[in-house]
């Protein structure tokens, strides 16, 4: 399957669909059959998905050639290790509060010498013990996607140092939280938001690190692309349902009058 990491490294645009509140293998199959998406943003932070949910989602995603990662809540070592062993191809770390937090998150996800993840190899990411450990460790260390969200004042203040960290594959801007900490909640194209994002984009360009965002509208996505954004979350399960219901009501508007 085309890897998110590889596409970003090649300077390509990555299109993701967000699953969370309504995450299920059937929904992921539908996204796969519709085509056009490069992968999935699996949201554990706001949806509270359990390990069984993540296992089923990653199975369905792999079956349809959709790369994926799990967006984690402010977390700990066990939470990172378990989603990776459940089959996730990477992690997006939310609520990071500075460069020390970001580096610790990466060390939880990486085996030595870069990190401090414990070695098992008997779960899905190690092919249930069938992959020799000497091959498994370097493969997983290289392949696992690491994204860091910039959505707190502390992370924003240290964003350049965070982007410069080894093994950070993508800087991700949380537009809702960013607008809130800038005092313009929900105004995603407010000059304060655009100026701040532009500064982050310049740091990323300087350091040759890709960055991403949740697109809030067509005009928002176009402005982000102009600034150099590569990774876009374009649609989500909740948004698709709401849009679909609105579309049905519009089709039969005479019956809803």
Tokens for 173? 């801007």
Q: Is the dihedral of CA 108, 45, 21, 236 positive or negative?
A: negative
What pLDDT, on a 0 to 100 scale, did the predictor assign at position 1? 58
> What CA–CA distance (Å, rounded) separates 225 from 222?
5
- Mean of the pLDDT values across residues 171-189? 95
- State in words which class domain 4-255 has: alpha beta
What pLDDT, on a 0 to 100 scale, did the predictor assign at position 233? 97
Q: Would you call the peptide bond into 52 cis, given omega within 30 degrees of 0 as the criterion? A: no
What pLDDT, on a 0 to 100 scale, did the predictor assign at position 257? 86
- Mean of the pLDDT values across residues 180-199? 95
Q: What is the mean pLDDT of the chain?
A: 95
Tens of pLDDT, residue by residue over 56-98, are 999 999 999 999 999 999 889 999 999 999 999 999 999 999 9
What pLDDT, on a 0 to 100 scale, did the predictor assign at position 2? 60
Tokens for 251? 């089709």
The angle that helices 51-63 and 77-85 make with each other, rounded to 10 degrees, is 40
> What CA–CA distance (Å, rounded) separates 99 from 158?
6
Strand 170-173 versus strand 211-214 pairing type = parallel
Instruction: Say if pTM beats, i.e. exceeds, 0.85.
Output: yes
Tens of pLDDT, residue by residue over 109-149, are 999 999 999 999 999 999 999 999 999 999 999 999 999 99
The domain limits of the chain are 4-255
């Amino acid at each position: 399957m085309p890897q998110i990491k590889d596409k970003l490294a090649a300077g390509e645009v990555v299109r993701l669909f967000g699953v969370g509140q309504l995450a299920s293998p059937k929904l992921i199959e539908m996204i796969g059959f519709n085509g056009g998406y490069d992968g999935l943003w699996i949201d554990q932070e706001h949806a509270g998905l359990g390990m069984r949910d993540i296992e089923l989602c990653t199975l369905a995603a792999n079956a349809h050639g959709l790369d994926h990662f799990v967006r984690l809540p402010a977390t700990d070592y066990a939470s990172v290790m378990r989603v990776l062993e459940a089959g996730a191809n990477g992690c997006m770390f939310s609520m990071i509060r500075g460069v020390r937090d970001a580096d610790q998150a990466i060390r939880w996800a990486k085996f030595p010498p870069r990190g401090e993840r414990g070695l098992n190899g008997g779960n899905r990411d190690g092919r249930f013990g069938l992959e020799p450990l000497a091959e498994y460790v370097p493969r997983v260390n290289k392949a696992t996607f690491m994204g860091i969200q910039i959505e707190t004042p502390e992370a924003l203040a240290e964003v350049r140092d965070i982007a410069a960290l080894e093994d950070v594959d993508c800087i991700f801007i949380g537009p809702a939280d960013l607008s809130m900490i800038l005092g313009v909640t929900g105004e995603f194209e407010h000059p304060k938001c655009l100026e701040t994002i532009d500064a982050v984009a310049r740091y990323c360009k300087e350091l040759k690190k890709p960055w991403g965002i949740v697109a809030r509208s067509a005009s928002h996505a176009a402005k982000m692309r102009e600034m150099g954004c590569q990774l876009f979350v374009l649609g989500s399960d909740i948004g698709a349902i709401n849009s679909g219901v609105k579309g049905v009501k519009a089709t039969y508007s005479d019956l809803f009058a």
